[in-house]
Structure 1
Amino acid sequence: MSTSILSYLWGKAKTPIGDGPSYQPLAYHCLDVAACADAILIREPEATRNRMAAIFGLEWEEARPWLLLVVACHDLGKACPGFQAKWPDILSLTGLWQPRIPMTNINHAFISQIALAKLLRGKGWPDELADLTADAVGCHHGSRASPTTLDHLAGTQSAIGKDDWEQAREALVEALAAVFQPVGVPANQTLSGPDFMLLSGLTSFADWIGSNEEVFHYGVPSDFPDLKDWFEKRRALADRALDAIGWESRTPLSREAKTFGQIFGFPPRPLQKAIADALVAMEGPAILLVEAPMGEGKTEAAFFAHLEMQRRFGHRGLYVALPTKATGNAMFKRTLKFLRSQGSNRKLDLQLLHGGTLLSPTGTLEPVDDRHNGATL
């Protein structure tokens, strides 16, 4: 399969402006999304990267190339007759087989799932792991194919194409693999439910960022042979795109241990001291359940626990749930004051979330773009 054919497989298209390109080669878009996935993961705590690597039963350095490759293959199914037939003039340049009545309404993500599962098995992946990984990547638009749908598409030439289409998809994956150079095979045999959702969520988020045409401008087919260079250039754009939406590196509010008195300016009550003592004994992420009467200082205890567990275990984000809109409004201000008291100069992303947010003086008076590590109420 020649690179000239791959360069005419398009992934994104638009009405041309001036002399600019009117479509983005599929390989370019795949690499754009992989670049975004890489940028997202690098900004996460080490614990998050290790958790993502554990999906495949590998260490991070071994897992990263595989993660980027499978995320890049999210749109592998666009290399099919039905999708490419939406632009007949470009399809004719590929020389690939064209059905008399192409299935232009096809869900290309389902074709991605079918093709990726087969290709991963061909690379030595365990069958169940290959199938579920392809499934997780294939539902990046929010729709998950039923086994019946997949069987039907896999057996329909106008959907999946003939042998030359399969060869085109294989060539595309090999071209992407040459950029990331994964070695060996994953150690795990399957994906757990949480593993599935982590991989699917990463793919969906990366695709959303990488599809922003204002940042990821279209390339031209003449650039196609140098995919490694393309990936490096787009990796820099991915950082710029994440900066623009405030998705900063995940760092703890407090980099060093602080006592309760240092944080709040008063000595802890008995309940608060008991929680501080319990935190010292924790050796990993945990659920801390506190039950006490009103006025015992549960809120400050929870804030203290958040700081300490975030610092020690790489936790990210804060979610504060209250039973009513009124209590949520009051806690919003209290939480914002606490976060700002930590002396962090980062932007805070603190959102008040309930049905009356737009009508709430609390929600409208506070700056929406004051960003933190995903605090939500």
Structure 2
Amino acid sequence: MLDVMAVAEVLLGQADFSSEQKATFALLAGAHDLGKISLSFRSMLRHGQRQHFSHWELTEAWLFPELPRLADRLNGSWRPLKHLISAVAGHHGRPSGRSEEVYQRYRDQWPDEEGRLDAVTLFDAFLTLFPDASLAGLREADAKRRSWWLAGLVTAADWVASNPDWFPPLEPSLDLPAYLHRARGLAAIAVREAGLQPVPVKDGWLFPFPAEQMRAMQREASSIALRDGPMLAFIEDETGAGKTEAGLILAQRMLLSEKAKGLFFALPTMATADAMFARARGMMGRLFDCPSLTLAHGRAALSRDFRALVGRESGDEDDVTCAPWLADSRHRALLGDIGIGTIDQALLSILPSRFSTLRHWGLSSKILIVDEAHELGDPYMAEQLARLLEMHAMAGGSAILMSATLPINLRQRFAEAFERGTGREAGVDRDMAYPSLSIAGGEARRSYPAVSGKGDVAVCRLEAMADAVDVLADGAAKGAACVWVRNAVDDAIAAVEALRERGVEAKLLHARFALHDRKRIEAEVLARWGRGGQERGGVLVATQIVESSLDLDFDLMVSDLAPMAALIQRIGRLWRHMDLRPATGRPLAGPVLHLLSPDPDFATDERWLQRVLDRGAWTYPLTDQWRTADKLVRRGRISIPADLRALVEAVDGNDIAEVPAALQKAEEERFGQIYAERSRALNNVIAIAEGYATARVGSSREYPTRLGEETRTLLLARREAGGLRPWAPLSGNDEVAEREAWMLSEVSVRCRWLARFALPDQAAADVVVLKQGWPEWRREDVLVCPVEADGRISDGLRYEVDRGLTGSSPQTRG
């Protein structure tokens, strides 16, 4: 307990609290395990007897009757103290949820007067170690809000102090003050070696290009006035305009103004997080002095860039490392100086998930940078982000949101949530100017000239799939880099087959490839059509994963009709790198979006879109797609960046066009879905004002970060003489290489799509052998799929390296 107390003191040194409050929090952190001084805990250790109450519940049970006396010793009220004690007691990832009445019955039925008196006596002794500890002026409402942060602090301190390498056992020869003095010396070392000690921020130039070449948004970010206290900034500009660099320029200024100690980049997908990690690894050493950098998502272990950092010795001040302690658990990934991961990792801090408070505590000292913020525009995720911003601001954190297509009503909602967390009144900002750099409640920069290198993009509607094939075949014949973005995987596969029948070289990329094959194809795509690509001819057919995951540049684009925000993201991959490939060097006269879409004037029934797009017609809300087609087809041209704000507002704003009568039912269903998703989000997110003691804890299935169709993980395998082997090749001969190969052999599939097929027998002898030793959840959730030499998995289900997972059910085979 004294070890935890000492670690908490070091961690509290970074917090913006009074010395009296820091002393109080450190004192309470040390009391987290008082319940271990009990007969029941000793009996559990010695004889394996079952405990009726956990030791951390006994901490509450014994201290609650002492609240008035202890609060008086701390110059405060017992009501705030009760919430703080519940926070430190609930350091195992969830609060007890027990009432005082339940504790009273426990004390009556299983009395342990000796243990209780020893615990209370020890707490009194702890009080003498912190004579400055005080609750003076702390209101119950404030204690409830701080209880979330305190629970996370105690968890972090407990995990560090429980490491025997840093705190080796000691014979009980020291009294409490002497032992605490020793523990304080060890704690400073432990916190540093764990990667939790903040490092200095540098004020030098961050980027490989000279400052004189800054783009417009980047120049504005370098001079806009920062707001006092926590602040929320919005960076809104077209794709490829340098928003990431602008965000880092602004973040560096905020760090130097002591608004935070570190950064967390929240990305929409694992692929975008991996891409950001690759970019940031070479840059963060110019922002911090020897910082720790972590990758936070479910497949971080597959990142060789990340693994190379773990445990790496720092050679000079520009080096980036990652302490093994941080990399050892996904729960700790948000605790380093710089975290890069999916937005889900941050959203888990405001959902009833275990150790959500640890994530909240880790984020609270960082600038939260949310890239592609429009990706959180659906009702469910938008409510979560609003609660996250409120809680982050409440803990003193600052944030930057970046987007090319953020609707104004979302910008306003996020600003209101953040300002509510600070206790300030949010103003109304509905300025339509674009690009825009604005600080909630502060300055806005919107009057500067912003010129896009690509100029206007023409919009040409295509009536049928055959027309799209003709356009791509013609473009490929001229040597153009071509892309067709499809809404559905099966439609993408059909498009590649149609192009190949025409003799057109076409590469396929979608989400139904095993991870190994997807990574391989993505690398090939980047090498050909990325920023440094040289041999650029040919056609890529891809699904939505190219919208934000990959930095690609095409001369010609065909796209299935999609909502406006998605199309704008796709257009961002058209004539993208104009600094490297100016108009004069491209094989086509100008950028054109060839839009595969029915005529919006002839929406006579709900099958209006399906007649043209087939399966991809159901990917997005029908009415959003009609409004997009109606706007773009009538305009025939997009001026970038000038038109982008108005186009987004036409579909996602408050003043949207009426849909045709034939689509009215779909509109009503969409409104009902929005209401249901928003209601579910509001029910799921934590109630900040009620305090940590009332928090629920459930599974990710009960409280997901995203809504969507249920998916199933397929594990592809090859049959060999020694049994099933992973589909992906092994990178070595050790256990780590084999584990990595199995992870790279997974593919996630929608359950509804999978339901059409007979699936491999999981009771087959070789499958049973492979699953031996798996945890129960994995045996149930993961479907092992041996792939035969000809690609067959089961009747109708196949896997091929150039097509991915495909299927033809008896119904579709006729």
Coarse TM-score class (shorter-chain normalised): 0.7 to 0.9
Relative to its length, the structure with more helix (as a share) is 1
Equivalent position of 2:182 in the other structure: 233
Which residue among 147, 166, 169 is the counterpart of 2:98? 147
What is the one-letter code of the residue matched to 2:337? Answer: N
Q: Does 1:207 align with 2:171?
A: no
Q: Does 1:181 align with 2:131?
A: yes
Partner Cα distance (2:61, 2:53) in 1: 13
Equivalent position of 1:9 in the other structure: none
Superimposed CA distance per residue, residues 280-303 of structure 1 (whole angstroms, 9 cap, x where no aligned partner): 242222111111102322111001
The answer to whether the Cα contact below 8 Å between 1:285 and 1:309 also exists between their aligned partners in 2 is no
Shift of the 252–120 alpha-carbon distance from structure 1 to 2, 3 Å rule, reads farther
Which residue among 70, 79, 83 is the counterpart of 2:37? 79
Query: Counterparts of 1:1-377 in structure 2 under 5 Å?
Result: 30-42=1-13, 44=14, 48=15, 50=16, 53=17, 60-86=18-44, 104-123=51-70, 124=72, 125-148=76-99, 150-157=100-107, 161-182=111-132, 184-190=134-140, 191-223=142-174, 226-248=175-197, 250-254=198-202, 256=203, 265-278=211-224, 280-342=225-287, 344-346=288-290, 348-364=291-307, 369=312, 370-371=321-322, 373-377=337-341
Shift of the 214–105 alpha-carbon distance from structure 1 to 2, 3 Å rule, reads farther
Aligned-pair CA distance for 1:217: 2.5
Partner Cα distance (1:209, 1:367) in 2: 18
Superimposed CA distance per residue, residues 315-367 of structure 1 (whole angstroms, 9 cap, x where no aligned partner): 1222223334443332222112221234x541x32233344434445445556
Aligned-pair CA distance for 1:82: 1.1
Aligned-pair CA distance for 1:112: 0.6
- Gapped regions of structure 1 (runs ≥ 5): 1-29, 54-59, 90-101
Q: Aligned-pair RMSD on alpha carbons?
A: 3.0
SS in structure 2 at match of 1:332: helix
Partner Cα distance (1:184, 1:320) in 2: 36
The answer to whether the Cα contact below 8 Å between 2:81 and 2:143 also exists between their aligned partners in 1 is no
Shift of the 354–111 alpha-carbon distance from structure 1 to 2, 3 Å rule, reads closer
The answer to whether the Cα contact below 8 Å between 1:82 and 1:158 also exists between their aligned partners in 2 is no
SS in structure 2 at match of 1:147: coil
Partner Cα distance (2:44, 2:81) in 1: 29
Aligned-pair CA distance for 1:175: 1.3
What is the one-letter code of the residue matched to 1:253? Answer: V
**Mean CA deviation greater in 355-364 or 228-237:** 355-364
Partner Cα distance (1:194, 1:233) in 2: 33
What is the one-letter code of the residue matched to 2:21? Answer: A
Aligned-pair CA distance for 1:273: 2.2
What is the one-letter code of the residue matched to 1:309? Answer: M
The answer to whether the Cα contact below 8 Å between 1:71 and 1:203 also exists between their aligned partners in 2 is yes
Aligned-pair CA distance for 1:241: 1.6
Superimposed CA distance per residue, residues 31-88 of structure 1 (whole angstroms, 9 cap, x where no aligned partner): 111011112222x2xxx2x2xx3xxxxxx22223222211111011122221133466
Aligned-pair CA distance for 1:314: 3.6
Partner Cα distance (1:171, 1:359) in 2: 50
The answer to whether the Cα contact below 8 Å between 1:153 and 1:160 also exists between their aligned partners in 2 is no
What is the one-letter code of the residue matched to 2:201? Answer: L
What is the one-letter code of the residue matched to 1:62? Answer: E
Shift of the 363–84 alpha-carbon distance from structure 1 to 2, 3 Å rule, reads closer
- Gapped regions of structure 2 (runs ≥ 5): 313-320, 323-335, 342-814
What is the one-letter code of the residue matched to 2:249? Answer: F
What is the one-letter code of the residue matched to 1:112? Answer: T
Superimposed CA distance per residue, residues 1-44 of structure 1 (whole angstroms, 9 cap, x where no aligned partner): xxxxxxxxxxxxxxxxxxxxxxxxxxxxx1111011112222x2
What is the one-letter code of the residue matched to 1:266? Answer: E
Partner Cα distance (1:337, 1:145) in 2: 44
Partner Cα distance (2:248, 2:183) in 1: 39
**Mean CA deviation greater in 127-136 or 265-274:** 265-274
Aligned-pair CA distance for 1:202: 0.9
What is the one-letter code of the residue matched to 1:331? Answer: M
Superimposed CA distance per residue, residues 197-254 of structure 1 (whole angstroms, 9 cap, x where no aligned partner): 111011111111111223322333443xx21111001111112222322222x24422
Partner Cα distance (1:120, 1:334) in 2: 52
Partner Cα distance (1:120, 1:209) in 2: 28
Partner Cα distance (2:29, 2:236) in 1: 43
Partner Cα distance (1:162, 1:112) in 2: 13
The answer to whether the Cα contact below 8 Å between 2:199 and 2:289 also exists between their aligned partners in 1 is no
Highest CA radius of gyration, 1 or 2? 2
Equivalent position of 2:559 in the other structure: none
Instruction: Tell me the number of residue pairs that the alignment of Structure 1 and Structure 2 aligns.
Output: 315
Shift of the 153–263 alpha-carbon distance from structure 1 to 2, 3 Å rule, reads farther
Shift of the 158–350 alpha-carbon distance from structure 1 to 2, 3 Å rule, reads same
TM-score (norm 1): 0.73
Partner Cα distance (2:268, 2:19) in 1: 44
SS in structure 2 at match of 1:283: coil
SS in structure 2 at match of 1:351: strand
Aligned-pair CA distance for 1:270: 2.0
Partner Cα distance (2:207, 2:301) in 1: 36
SS in structure 2 at match of 1:321: strand
Partner Cα distance (1:199, 1:313) in 2: 21
The answer to whether the Cα contact below 8 Å between 1:350 and 1:375 also exists between their aligned partners in 2 is yes
Aligned-pair CA distance for 1:306: 1.1
Aligned-pair CA distance for 1:311: 1.1
SS in structure 1 at match of 2:121: helix
Shift of the 281–310 alpha-carbon distance from structure 1 to 2, 3 Å rule, reads closer
SS in structure 2 at match of 1:84: helix
Partner Cα distance (1:311, 1:138) in 2: 36
The answer to whether the Cα contact below 8 Å between 1:285 and 1:313 also exists between their aligned partners in 2 is no
Partner Cα distance (2:109, 2:164) in 1: 28
SS in structure 1 at match of 2:233: coil
The answer to whether the Cα contact below 8 Å between 1:103 and 1:159 also exists between their aligned partners in 2 is no
Aligned-pair CA distance for 1:260: 8.5
The answer to whether the Cα contact below 8 Å between 1:321 and 1:328 also exists between their aligned partners in 2 is yes
SS in structure 2 at match of 1:266: helix
Relative to its length, the structure with more strand (as a share) is 2
